[in-house]
Amino acid sequence: MRIGLIALLHESNTFVGGTTGLRLFQEDVLAVGEAMVERFTGAHHEIGGFFDGLREAGVEPVPILAARACPSGVIEAATLDPLVAVMRERLREAAPLDGLLVAPHGAAVSEHQRDADGHWLSRVRETVGSGMPIVGTLDPHANLSPAMVASTDALIAYRTNPHLDQRERGLDAARLVVRAARGEARPCQAAAFPPIALGIQRQATDEPPCASLMAAARALETRDGVLAASVLLGFPYADVAEMGSSALVVADGDRATAERAATELGEALWSLRGGDDLVDNLIGELVGVEGAVDRALRLSPDGPVCLLDMGDNVGGGSPGDGTIIARELRRRGVPGSLVCLFDPAAASLAASAGAGARIDLEIGGKTDDVHGEPLGATFEVVRLAGGRFEEPEPRHGGLGSVDQGRCAVLRTDDDLTVLVTSRRVPPFSLRQLTSCGIDPAAFRVVVAKGVNAPIAAYAPVCRHFIRVDTPGVTTADMRRLDHVHRRRPMAPFERDAAWG
């Protein structure tokens, strides 16, 4: 028995200036055929789970294509079309296959295909025909579409945010596709699409309201005939018709069972919008920069405090060079502060000056005028680093080998330390810092450009986390964004939204 493996993962922020081209995939993951084996065998990623699950079942994995890019702007048509063409060509060359494992992200948007995941999954289905079982995984930040559901037999979302269970869900998918290929299961699925969207601050799965939603999904999976139940939290930074939260249930041969269970899970989502708590339930507490720094100063004697920069959330596609929190820390004279900024020009100038030099720099604030002005100061070049690191633990995104480009550790006279990177890298691993000789436990305040994802990495060091309502293309309040294509009415944008 032979099972093919395909992955195309991108979280596309349509509010970001610029597009995502082939280079950004090449900088992260672009592996064809056997190159996937080397990159993902043993990885804490669903593709690692695919490989291990198939081998566990005595089935031959047939790697086709894996492509992933750091969250950023919409995918260029000149990039998506060739990737889909390679998928289809190599699928034909790999025939005969007994099934397919697929890994879409679920929030990919291209210049010409707003539902990019539904598009490529549909092309894959056309290539292999209706009889081949296709089972896959989804990031829970997916904006699920009917095309994704129709093109596959079963999709299983990660259950945790931060995403620490990617490999486990890959194993689940691999075991299910093998059962389907052997005729031991007949997966079919149904989805529910209530007109509701959860804000990013409310998407931590061990906090309300997601903790109860995930518990409801797990309870459904104990029912006879239900193979998997997933809550898709949604990605509010993609302005598409599919944007929003949804429910997806896979049953064994009985679509009516899947439909009833999906509706029940959808109703649990829909119940969050009721009453006066709609904004709190769906958006969350909005703490401004000054208030967040006030809290941090009160808490910092108890250990490092992590300020989560929600408006410049690199894992949501933001530029990663926002200076708003760093400038406030300097204005308030908070010593022992640490921030990471994406600025390849500053990293290059620091490298030219050399370790130990003092240099006047304008750092960050260069991508746009939304995330703060450049941070100007005289910096000591504390250390230079190559920027590569390995993360052996399960972390959000299934990271393994990471290259953040040439880096420089800089420090101002008032004790603000800045790690400057040459590539945008989300703060999903402490090794981003420690590989550059930075001990995060030595700081009073640490700024991480994320919302929920960095918590898994920073929890061993930081005793307190404060989510900060900064402006930006990943603003915590999705109502501030100019959505054109979303459904209307929709909670929390409109209070009169109805689900029939």
The sign of the torsion formed by the CA atoms of 216, 218, 222, 225 equals positive
Q: Provide, for the chain, the percentages of residues in helix, strand and coil under a 3-state DSSP scheme, each rounded to the nearest 5.
A: 35, 25, 40
Cα–Cα distance between 59 and 451 in angstroms, integer? 39
Closest CA relative to residue 268, chosen from 229, 224, 237:
229
The whole-model pTM stands at: 0.97
Question: What token pair was written down for 100?
Answer: 């397919």
Closest CA relative to residue 181, chosen from 80, 54, 314, 295:
54
Q: What pLDDT, on a 0 to 100 scale, did the predictor assign at position 273? A: 87
Contact predicate 10/113, CB 8 Å: no
Q: What pLDDT, on a 0 to 100 scale, did the predictor assign at position 355? A: 98
Contact predicate 57/180, CB 8 Å: no
On the CB side of 370, CA atoms within 13 Å amount to: 18
Q: What pLDDT, on a 0 to 100 scale, did the predictor assign at position 276? A: 66
Each residue's pLDDT expressed in tens, for the chain with a length of 500 residues = 999 999 999 999 999 999 999 999 999 999 999 999 999 999 999 999 999 999 999 999 999 999 999 999 999 999 999 999 999 999 999 999 999 999 999 999 999 999 999 999 999 999 999 999 999 999 999 999 999 999 999 999 999 999 999 999 999 999 999 999 999 999 999 999 999 999 999 999 999 999 999 999 999 999 999 999 999 999 999 999 999 999 999 999 999 999 999 999 999 999 998 766 788 889 999 999 999 999 999 998 888 999 999 999 999 999 999 999 999 999 999 999 999 999 999 999 999 999 999 999 999 999 998 999 999 999 999 999 999 999 999 898 887 899 999 999 999 999 999 999 999 999 999 999 999 999 999 999 999 999 999 999 999 999 999 999 999 999 999 999 999 999 999 999 998 899 97
Q: What pLDDT, on a 0 to 100 scale, did the predictor assign at position 275? A: 63
